[in-house]
Amino acid sequence: MLRNTFLKTLRDRRRSLLWWALGLVGLVAITVGFWPAIEESGQELNRLVEDLPPALQSLAGGDLDLTSPAGYLNGRVFAFLAPILFLVFGIAFGSRTVAGEEQAGTLELVLARPVPRWRIVAEKFAALAVATGFLGAVLWASLALGAAPVGLDIGSSALAAATLMVVLLGLVFGALALFIGSLTGKRGLALGLTTTVAVAMYLLDLYASISEAVEPFRGLSPFYYYDAAVPLRNGVDPLHAAFLVVVTVFLAGFSLVAFERRDVGV
């Protein structure tokens, strides 16, 4: 066994991290490869998007020009696909790291070490943050290196801003899954309930963007703080980023308390 839970957790996830990284590289390669064809389509594509219902326009990337580099990457990557992938990764990691190990019976070996329970959860959350950040770095590097050869002219700082926000979004729901798993010890419940909350929050943000009746509640959704400022065009909004960080820290803190006080079924 490794000297601390943090390193052990990353070691146990090393193969899945590798496959996720390769998948992101492949996704970026396909995305940037289509850019020359999209660029040639000119205004015809934008007119097609303008004819779509408002909800579908939001899915396509909002008010950005889809034939511009920022609009293309926002519509193809950051408006929908990247958030989904980082949410899937974060929720799966967070639900497995405590509750999954508890149900598999492997958590007993970790608890046998002479360390406080809160530290175990803290190190597992740290592993979640590092793993999610690693995938964010892979996404950013792949886009930054792959954009130039096909003439996708967008700055690395803009890509870093958008990538940072998608990493923070993934951490929010990863921390929520960790909290539910730490509170209940049930991986399936953590996975299912967190996924339900993520879908509900996404739909809230989507409907609030097109409905005046729902718009006042948009601030309840983490997805609003993720994409409302369009970080690929405008950079990181400090207040929006801070909100996601604070929510993540609070959920991680609640996880420490929940696991500390619960009888663990090992």
181-219 tens-digit pLDDT: 999 989 999 999 999 999 999 999 888 888 888 889 999
Domain count, the chain: 1
> Where is average pLDDT lowest: 48-52, 89-93, 142-146?
48-52
- Whole-number pLDDT of residue 249: 97
For residue 249, being part of any structural domain is answered with yes
Q: CA 43 to CA 8: how far, in whole Å?
A: 52
Cβ burial, residue 16 (10 Å; 0-12/13-18/19+):
middle
Cβ burial, residue 112 (10 Å; 0-12/13-18/19+):
exposed
In which domain, by residue range, is 86 found? 5-261
Give 60's pLDDT tier (boundaries 50, 70, 90): low
Percent of the chain having pLDDT more than 90? 47
- Whole-number pLDDT of residue 57: 55
For residue 94, being part of any structural domain is answered with yes
| Cα–Cα nearest to 259, from 193, 199, 190 | 190
Look up the pTM and report it.
0.89
- Whole-number pLDDT of residue 212: 84
For residue 266, being part of any structural domain is answered with no
Q: What is the mean pLDDT of residues 38-49?
A: 61
**Which alpha helices (H) appear in 60-116, and where do they start and end?**
69-73, 81-95, 101-104, 107-111
- Whole-number pLDDT of residue 118: 85
Give 179's pLDDT tier (boundaries 50, 70, 90): very high
Give 265's pLDDT tier (boundaries 50, 70, 90): low
Averaged pLDDT of the chain: 85
> Is it the case that residue 62 has pLDDT exceeding 90?
no
> Is it the case that residue 47 has pLDDT exceeding 70?
no
For residue 230, being part of any structural domain is answered with yes
SS (HEC) of 107-171: HHHHHCCCCCHHHHHHHHHHHHHHHHHHHHHHHHHHHHHHHHHHCCCCCHHHHHHHHHHHHHHHH
> Where is average pLDDT lowest: 8-12, 26-30, 46-50, 181-185?
46-50
For residue 137, being part of any structural domain is answered with yes
> Is it the case that residue 230 has pLDDT exceeding 90?
no
Which of the two residues, 18 and 152, has the higher pLDDT score?
A: 18
For residue 244, being part of any structural domain is answered with yes
For residue 37, being part of any structural domain is answered with yes
For residue 220, being part of any structural domain is answered with yes
- Whole-number pLDDT of residue 45: 57
* Interval 124-169: pLDDT, tens: 999 999 999 999 999 999 999 988 787 777 888 999 999 999 999 9
